Amino acid sequence: MSWQLSRWERIDAYVGWLSVAASLLRAAVSGPFRGRSGADTYRHHIIQAVVKKLTTRFSHLQLQYLFKTFDQIYVEHCHNHGDKPNFVSTTRGVNGFWIGDPSAKYVVIQFHGGGFAMDATEPYLYFWQKIQSQLADAGIETAWFHSTYTLTPHKAYPSQVGEAVETLRHILEGIGRSPGEVLIAGDSAGGNLCLGILSHLKHRLGDIPELIINEPLKGAILLSPWVSFSHDWPTMMLNENRDIDAQDVTSRWSQLYLNGRPSNNFVEPGAASEEWWDEIQVEQTLVLAGAHEVLLDPIKAWFSKFEKFNPNSTLVVGKNECHVAPLIWPLFGDFHETEQESALKHWLLERLG
């Protein structure tokens, strides 16, 4: 089935910017009166309001229509820096591009967030390349493979997990990298895919081909991983006015991803038992979250089970930070170093140096 916008939906996509502008104006006026239940700063209050309006006002297809694809952003990035684009596309569903030399000492496979419905934005390249440059300054050479997996509704679960597994297979078998030289990273839905990979390596998901590795992966980096689709967590209410995520949006996007299938441990890692994570194939794991995000409680609950069998795991909660703050705030011109970014940088320097 071909998923395309109708003529009216395309017109409506542009008309919708009027409501976004109105939401911005309302946030600007209400910001000084937001109280303790609101965002930590006036600027973040406005950012939160605008992002929520974008995701509630526009459909997933309209968002994909209005914003550039990650591939387009990458081509422009390469043009601006005088680099030649290095795309990868295979018959097994691997799609993405490289930043850096694939023969570098370490390879990081990055899966972007966006509820499986939105593509990555410009700050993704800015943020991860900044980390890459800081590692290079310390003499640590890394290459980053950014996956451009298929978004919903063009495909649904388990296709994205399959593409993620095949991406890891391509890095290990296609270009011959050792698992001990590879890290996987992802934010939100991308973090969900990272956990899907780790689950598949031990439990195997359905018809997705088995992938056997002879040693654990070097590491996993999870920024605000989407581990539960439930809205019954206390932080869902506590942080409702502090975060960028709206419950009706996460509900809609999770249903798009499931596409009528029942949930399971590959879809919602937070539902898995402690034993599910025993002998998971990763040396060390860093989990980042924001104290002001609605997903904080499920992340903490999942982490408490995960670390029982994976003691070389670290959870850092950034004070006053929203969902994927290091990636969303720069989209609105706020480039200050978040606590999550600082923790990520030092974690990588300590473990790869």
User: What pLDDT is attached to residue 3?
Assistant: 84
- Supply the DSSP symbol for 112: -
Is the pLDDT score of 2 beyond 80? no
| Nearest-angstrom CA–CA distance, 292 and 238 | 8
Is the pLDDT score of 1 beyond 80? no
pLDDT digits (tens, 9 = 90+) for 108-136: 999 999 999 999 999 999 999 999 999 99
pLDDT (mean) for 226-250: 97
Please state whether 204 falls in left (phi above 0), alpha (psi between -120 and 50) or beta.
left
Cis peptide before 269 (omega within 30 of 0): no
> What percent of the chain shows pLDDT beyond 70?
99
pLDDT digits (tens, 9 = 90+) for 306-318: 999 999 999 999 9
Please state whether 321 falls in left (phi above 0), alpha (psi between -120 and 50) or beta.
beta
Answer for the pair 225, 324: CB distance below 8 angstroms, yes or no: no
Select from 89, 197, 86, 190 the least CA-distant residue to 144: 86
Stretch (H or E) spanning 318? strand 313-318
Sheet containing strand 106-111, edge to edge, reads 87-89, 95-99, 142-147, 106-111, 182-187, 219-223, 285-290, 313-318
> What percent of the chain shows pLDDT beyond 90?
98
| Nearest-angstrom CA–CA distance, 168 and 217 | 10
pLDDT digits (tens, 9 = 90+) for 131-172: 999 999 999 999 999 999 999 999 999 999 999 999 999 999
pLDDT (mean) for 65-80: 97
The model's pTM is 0.97
| Nearest-angstrom CA–CA distance, 282 and 180 | 9
Other CB atoms within 10 A of residue 18 CB: 10
| Nearest-angstrom CA–CA distance, 142 and 99 | 9
Bridge partner residues of 243 (DSSP): none
pLDDT digits (tens, 9 = 90+) for 26-59: 999 999 999 999 999 999 999 999 999 999 999 9
